[in-house]
A and B are shown apart, each in its own frame.
Chain A
């Protein structure tokens, strides 16, 4: 039982990063009704920008964070312009294929600019474990969890209190009603991409800091984890994204402990298949959900 609880604690910390990735996917899916599979590669651009600053310019954690965020935002703005704004609203498949093309582009850019493939990223440092009875918690895990909670709180405030949040929720509810209300749909979509990029940048920064290194596989990894968490939790549900991320983290931690690393990934994708068959709209998606805050 102690092992199970310990794994759950570790899983929640890991899952908090997954939750942020899923939130980014969900925000974009909510306003566009389309999938942006280049979301992970955009974050990859960000973490490589952070790694570049770390290796060539400065070790300042603030500057590395700013570079990670700026890289992710720039790459996301590029994706929004070429794969969404430039493609007709009723051509969802063209949009998705286009994001795949951009994904390949971004990976090639990283391969050219960072030929060594693996680069060091600023680490939090060797922090001591926090002990609570029979349980241990890594300080970086706690840091990850706290940052995720802060991002969630900030997102809740933006969506619930700001005019932009109202417009975003209105747009995800009914595009037609938003248009006749005079809401600037293109502006809201662009800003939503930037918001998703900021969340992804924070997630990428925390994950890269936790790993202490980045590789070009980060894009694929982030896309897969975010997508799986979104699908399990509930397609186009923000609460579902958080729940899906946490569940995915816990499942991975338990699977790794009881069955080993190789079985972990097999189990995760088996659960994804099961979720698609049994709960095609995810746990909190509901039968007709388009978007829920």
Chain B
């Protein structure tokens, strides 16, 4: 596959402990995959490998035909892969607007004249305000993240990731700590503003959330892929229900 994400035989070991064993996955452009599995099954390690925060012991990662294996996290981000972390990663001393500007990095291009620079700045401002509006954060643009609730912080984290106009977005438990109502709202926002034609991998323990957003689900257990297929089928799979959902029989 020349485009999208291709992961081949990916392994990660910490000393004698295997976090991931021979994982392979293909993600087509525009496809959304739910990545589920028990705690410690290697979901976040997988995202760390794809985004260059860790390097695989074996295997290779390709995005749009280019090999990412061994590339630095910032160069991978510049290729159009954005991510969020389970632990929020916002700039606590920058305003909400500045957080977004920092996220626009991939889109900013050198200007040859003052007017071009001014026009680019104005376009960036409009894009940021429009994104903040999507996440109901426009009124808080000048506030620092200290003034935001947990839900708003998660939205800011997400909005900043989107500010770079990524081709692929990796979301690590975006609904963690949210009430069912907030989770539904987030799913709707993701559907309307984030996943419209954009590739994504979503890690989440809330199965309804995954079912609402991802047509395909990938299941990890102890670093190995145990299921991969249409979400409704995977969630009915006996092994998945036994290992992940703790059902007997």
Whether B74 contacts A174 by the Cβ 8 Å rule is no
Smallest CB separation, A185 vs chain B (Å)? 6
**Residues in chain A near residue B161, CB distance under 8 A:** 180
Interface-centre pick from A163, A177, A293 (highest chain B CB count, 10 A) = A177
Given contacts A167-B102, A169-B94, contact A182 B164 (CB under 8 A): yes
CB of A181, distance to nearest CB on chain B (Å) = 5
Is B83 an interface residue, CB under 8 A from the partner?
yes
Minimum distance in angstroms from B77 CB to a CB of chain A: 4
Q: Nearest-CB distance from B78 to chain A (Å)? A: 5
Q: Is B185 an interface residue when CB atoms closer than 8 A count as contact?
A: no
If A174-B89, A176-B89 touch, whether A181 touches B94 (CB-CB below 8 Å) is: no
Q: Mark A162-179, 1 if CB is under 8 A from B, else 0.
A: 010011011001101111
B189 at the interface (CB under 8 A from A): no
Partner of B102, one of A170, A176, A184, A291: A170
Docked complex: A180-196 residues within 8 A CB-CB of B: 180-185
B127 on the A face (CB < 8 A): no
Contact A173 B51 (CB under 8 A): no
Inside 8 A of A170's CB, which chain B residues have their CB? 91, 94, 98, 102
Contact residues, A202-254 vs B (CB, 8 A): none
Residue of A nearest to B83 (CB): A180
Known: A163-B108, A166-B98, A178-B102. A185 touches B90 (CB 8 A): no
| Min distance, Cβ B102 to any Cβ of chain A, angstroms | 4
In the assembled complex, the Cα of A178 lies from the Cα of B94 at a distance in Å of 12
Q: Which of A163, A178, A181, A183 has the most CB of B within 10 A?
A: A181
CB-based contact A182/B93 at 8 Å: no
| A217 CB to nearest B CB, Å | 38
Contact A183 B94 (CB under 8 A): no
Contacts of B98 in A (CB 8 A): 166, 169-170
Any chain A CB within 8 A of the CB of B203?
no
Question: Chain A contacts of B108 at CB under 8 A?
Answer: 163
Contact for B160 among A167, A173, A181, A185, CB less than 8 A: A181
Interface string of B102-116 (1 = CB under 8 A from A): 110110100000000
Most buried by A among B78, B91, B98: B91
Bits for B75-104, please: 1 = Cβ < 8 Å to A, else 0.
001100011010001111110001001110
Give which listed residue, A173, A178, A180, contacts B93 with CB less than 8 A. A173
Contacts A173-B92, A292-B93; is A183 near B102 (CB within 8 Å)? yes
- Chain B residue numbers with a CB within 8 Å of A185 are 74
B73 at the interface (CB under 8 A from A): yes
Contact with A180, one of B77, B92, B94, B101 (Cβ below 8 angstroms)? B77
A162 to chain B, nearest CB (A): 11
Complex alpha-carbon distance, A166 and B160, angstroms: 14
Interface positions, chain A 252-293, Cβ under 8 Å from B, are 291-293
With both chains docked as a complex, state the minimum distance between the C-beta of B101 and any C-beta of chain A, in angstroms.
6
State the 5 A-B residue pairs at the shortest beta-carbon distance, nearest first.
Answer: A182-B77, A177-B89, A173-B91, A170-B102, A182-B105
Report 10 cross-chain contacts, Cβ distance below 8 Å, ordered by A residue: A163-B101, A163-B108, A170-B91, A177-B102, A179-B53, A180-B82, A181-B102, A181-B103, A183-B74, A185-B74
8 more A-B residue pairs beyond the given contacts A176-B85, A177-B89, with a C-beta to C-beta distance below 8 A: A167-B102, A169-B98, A173-B92, A173-B93, A177-B91, A180-B77, A181-B105, A182-B74
**Could you tell me which B residues sit within 8 Å of A by CB distance?**
51, 53, 73-74, 77-78, 82-83, 85, 89-94, 98, 101-103, 105-106, 108, 160-161, 164
